[in-house]
Amino acid sequence: MVFKTKKLVVGEPESDIAPYDRIEAVPGIEKVLKNAHNNEILINQIAANLDKPRLVAQMIDTMQPYKVVRERGEHGDQIIALHGYRVEQRIGTGKDGNTYVCTRYLESERKRGVPYHYIVKALSPYAQGYNVVSKLYFDNMQNITQRKQKPHGLLDQMIIKGDMHYRLLNENNELYTDTTSDISIWRKHLSDIADMNHWLLKNMGCAFWDLGYGNGKNYMQNLKGQIKWVDYGGAGIVFVEKNRWPADMSWELPEIGQNNLLNVKKNLVYANSDFLMLEFLLHCEYWYCKPNKRLETNADLWSSNIQLRPSVLADIKNYMLPDILQWDLTKNIYKDFANNDWCDYMTWKKLRDYIK
């Protein structure tokens, strides 16, 4: 899907909006002050956020004193604005939160009535618990770009702001679409995923393990048919041990964040070779079987189970895996790569070429 506009230079427009020096200077404040007694909370919140003009504009527009504004709809409460962004369309829902196409308050237009559009992901409490890992990922990605190294083509740069991630859409306001279920094309996509993890482990010391199940794949495709990664939640990122971190990369977790994460699921923090292998194979199995009505699989359930603790992972790998694989490709990958180190970027490079 594309929001039509003419081409401009890609990049987030720079803000030239100065903070308000007094509440009377806020555009539209008259309608709030007109009924000041009933709008006391709203007025107080506007006064407390004069240094955030976009958020103030949201409060004036919605007449709500909240950073995240909800409205009762047919299917329950729906977010209609958040942190200075106005929701135009919800395009995704998952355990990590909801994803929206938004415009931004007080922002100039791209061209003749067409505003800039953003992808905004409002994080769920679950995803917020792993946001410290997401921040480390994007900090390290920033180090990549600062040394003028080109990021992998599947990866977009997102910006983290509290409980949300966002990025500006390209000059065509392009939205990615679901990948094809055609096995021959999807197999090329799997090779691209392997190439992405090869790049991530080599250059950043991390990898994506959660490739997506029932809520959809965590990668989509652009208008050129190239796949793009769309889920940067920290729960889907694991990183290697410190002695394998590439130069200029750091995955040092704050003490509070480290304790919280390790008390939940250790496999979702530190890279584990068997875990990475099984998650890749189970993802392949799930999406190979799903379109075929003659095939049934519990790959998504096994994926959830191996996240619990290392002993469950070992049991499924050692006693169950060969018997639950149905696709010739996954059987062959297991046979030829079971003893490889999946935390080593060279394994993913070999896998990339193997799948091709």
Question: Tell me, what's the pLDDT at 95?
Answer: 85
Percent over 70 (pLDDT), the chain? 94
Tokens representing residue 196 in the block: 């992405």
Q: Which residue has the tokens 């920290």?
A: 234
pLDDT confidence band for 309 (50 / 70 / 90): confident
Question: Tell me, what's the pLDDT at 181?
Answer: 84
What is the Cα–Cα distance from 10 to 54, expressed in whole angstroms?
21
Question: Tell me, what's the pLDDT at 254?
Answer: 86
Does the pTM of the predicted model rise above 0.75?
yes
Which runs of E-coded beta strand occur in 26-135? 68-73, 76-82, 85-94, 97-104, 109-111, 114-115, 118-123
What integer is the mean pLDDT of 169-191?
Answer: 93
pLDDT digits (tens, 9 = 90+) for 247-296: 999 999 887 667 677 677 778 889 999 999 999 999 999 999 998 888 99
Long-range contacts for 77-85 (Cβ within 8 Å, ≥24 apart)? 79/122, 82/120, 82/122, 82/164, 83/54, 83/55, 83/58, 83/161, 83/162, 83/164, 84/52, 84/54, 84/55, 84/57, 84/58, 85/54, 85/58, 85/118, 85/120, 85/166
pLDDT confidence band for 1 (50 / 70 / 90): very low
pLDDT confidence band for 202 (50 / 70 / 90): very high
Tokens representing residue 256 in the block: 């509070």
Residue 119, classed as helix, strand or coil, is: strand
pLDDT digits (tens, 9 = 90+) for 10-55: 334 445 689 999 999 999 999 999 999 999 999 999 999 999 999 9
* 2: pLDDT strictly greater than 80: no
* 300: pLDDT strictly greater than 60: yes
